[in-house]
Structure 1
Amino acid sequence: MKTLICAVTFAALCSPLWGQVQGAEACLAKAMQNGTDPTLCLDAPDAACMDNAQETPVVSTSCFAENRAQWGAAIGKRMDMLPDTTDTTVARIEARYDVIGAMVQCDRIEALAKAASDLSGPQIALQKERCLARANALTYVRLFARTHPAVEDSQ
């Protein structure tokens, strides 16, 4: 029964994520055009996962895992759409190492939390998954910013 409740709650929390990730692209384009902070476009997907984090950290952790997967898929899709130029090749390399660097920092945060905090296992797992999801999201923002004209010009 607990598994069913968790699955239903997980589905309810995560189902809007793909739409939010897709919607973020329009938000990013507008932010680039207006010169505003594009990272504000990431707030809705994060908020959806944090709604019940205190009561159900495992469900929120699963939501962030789905969020991370969706941002990862968006990164891959955008990289596939890029034309083969020196600038876009550099953007691909930068994106790859942005993700790797961020993952190392998320591992560091997890290790420190385990060694020197009072957080429970589920809270640490939530913290790490949230960090990983945000890392993918921020990598997508940087990739989008570096390649926004290139993708639109190639279509």
Structure 2
Amino acid sequence: MTRHILIGLIALLPVQAAAGTIGKSEQVQACVLRQIDAAAPVADCVNEAQTECLDLVMKAPMASVACFRDARDTWNGYIGDRMAHISATAPTELAGVAGIEVKYDLLQNLMQCDRMIDLTLLREDPSEATEAQKARCEATATALAYVKLLLQSRNLN
């Protein structure tokens, strides 16, 4: 059963990208752990990791779209890597639960992105800015699913 869930989850994920845009997963993990120790928001780690893309939003919206898409693909790769680690180290049932949880966390987050874009498009025509907003939301949604998975599985290291 776990294998089917993992295969289903991996089918949702684009091919893993290089970590050039957002840094290595170890850097993100270290940030998350620092934030936990400081009782600070772990979402700050996502913003920190995506700084390069955020800096492009106003200056070059279409470049930010490409940057956020690369970041999304990298986050997806991190989810796949973490799920592989969980499958290798956790009991089968726990790995299955993790696969289901991350799948639905990701889908829920992405559905909120669709909702926000649909509401935006009621007020304005599609533009480079709305495309950048969508790409940013999708990257952040994927990052937050990864961070949640990381937090929930941090004792498996």
Q: Based on CA coordinates, which of the two structures has the bigger radius of gyration?
A: 1
Name the Cα RMSD after superposition: 2.1
Q: CA deviation at 1:35?
A: 3.7
Give deviations 1:92-135, integer Å, cap 9, x for gaps.
Answer: 21110011111111111112211223x65111111011000000
Counterpart position of 2:101: 94
* TM-score normalized with structure 2 length: 0.77
Gaps of at least 5 residues in structure 1 are 1-13
Residue identity opposite 1:143 in structure 2: L
How has the CA–CA distance of structure 1 residues 92 and 28 changed in structure 2, closer, same or farther, with 3 Å as cutoff? same
Counterpart position of 1:62: 66
Q: Which piece of structure 1 moves more, 72-81 or 51-60?
A: 51-60
Q: CA deviation at 1:33?
A: 4.2
Moved over 4 A (4+): none
Q: CA deviation at 1:27?
A: 1.3
Q: Distance in 1 between matches of 2:105 and 2:62?
A: 27
Match for residue 36 of structure 2 among 29, 32, 39? 32
- What pairs with 1:1-155 in structure 2 (closer than 5 Å)? 16-19=20-23, 21-82=25-86, 83-117=90-124, 120-150=126-156, 152=157
**Identity percentage of aligned residues:** 28
| Residue pair 1:88, 1:147 contacting (<8 A) in 2 also | no
| Residue pair 2:19, 2:74 contacting (<8 A) in 1 also | no
Give deviations 1:55-105, integer Å, cap 9, x for gaps.
Answer: 210000110000100000000100010023433322221110011111111
How has the CA–CA distance of structure 1 residues 81 and 63 changed in structure 2, closer, same or farther, with 3 Å as cutoff? same
Q: Distance in 2 between matches of 1:36 and 1:50?
A: 21
Which structure shows the higher helix fraction?
1
Give deviations 1:10-52, integer Å, cap 9, x for gaps.
Answer: xxxx974242554111111333344432222112222210213
Q: Distance in 1 between matches of 2:96 and 2:136?
A: 28
Gaps of at least 5 residues in structure 2 are 1-17
How many corresponding residue pairs?
137
* TM-score normalized with structure 1 length: 0.78
Q: Distance in 1 between matches of 2:140 and 2:94?
A: 25
How has the CA–CA distance of structure 1 residues 141 and 107 changed in structure 2, closer, same or farther, with 3 Å as cutoff? same
